[in-house]
């Protein structure tokens, strides 16, 4: 068990809808990362937060947004969902977001857009 908790584990929704994915980092970790994993694109970096502030941004669509709250949990909001958004979404955390730190990954949220 990595100590990173993601909810829900599975999510099935329809095109055009909006969903929220939740992540609780490992106790004491200040930095949270979001990744999207799909068969054709592999593991794509979306965004990183450190202690509530956005730190790095990857290939995150404008329809997607994220935030990290004062208690350090994070949420990834996906809106106007399309079929192509179906993927496994991972959250990871690290102690301070330092360059040499390893990431601890949650088990992911499997999103299916029908």
Partner 1 sequence: AQSVAQPEDQVNVAEGNPLTVKCTYSVSGNPYLFWYVQYPNRGLQFLLKYITGDNLVKGSYGFEAEFNKSQTSFHLKKPSALVSDSALYFCAVRDMRNDKIIFGKGTRLHILP
The residues of the shown chain that bind partner 1, judged by CB under 8 A, are 2, 4, 33, 35, 41-43, 45, 48, 55-56, 58, 90, 92, 97, 99-100, 102-108
Nearer to partner 1, 18 or 57 (CB): 57
Beta carbon of residue 20, minimum distance to partner 1 (angstroms, whole number): 19
Beta carbon of residue 62, minimum distance to partner 1 (angstroms, whole number): 18
Nearer to partner 1, 1 or 14 (CB): 1
Beta carbon of residue 53, minimum distance to partner 1 (angstroms, whole number): 12
Q: Radius of gyration (Cα) for the chain, nearest Å?
A: 13
b/e 70-84 (16+ beta carbons within 10 angstroms → b):
eebebbbebeebeee
Nearer to partner 1, 78 or 103 (CB): 103
């Amino acid at each position: 068990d990595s100590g990173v908790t993601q909810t829900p584990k599975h999510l099935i929704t329809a095109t055009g809808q909006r969903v929220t994915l939740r992540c609780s980092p490992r106790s004491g970790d200040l930095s949270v990362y979001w990744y999207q994993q799909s068969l054709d694109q592999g593991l794509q970096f979306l965004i990183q937060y450190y202690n509530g502030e956005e730190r790095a941004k990857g290939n995150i669509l404008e329809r997607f947004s994220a935030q990290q709250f004062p208690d350090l949990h994070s949420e990834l909001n996906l809106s106007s969902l399309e079929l192509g958004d179906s993927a496994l979404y991972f959250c990871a955390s690290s102690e301070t977001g330092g360059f040499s730190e390893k990431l601890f990954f949650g088990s992911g949220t499997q999103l299916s857009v029908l």
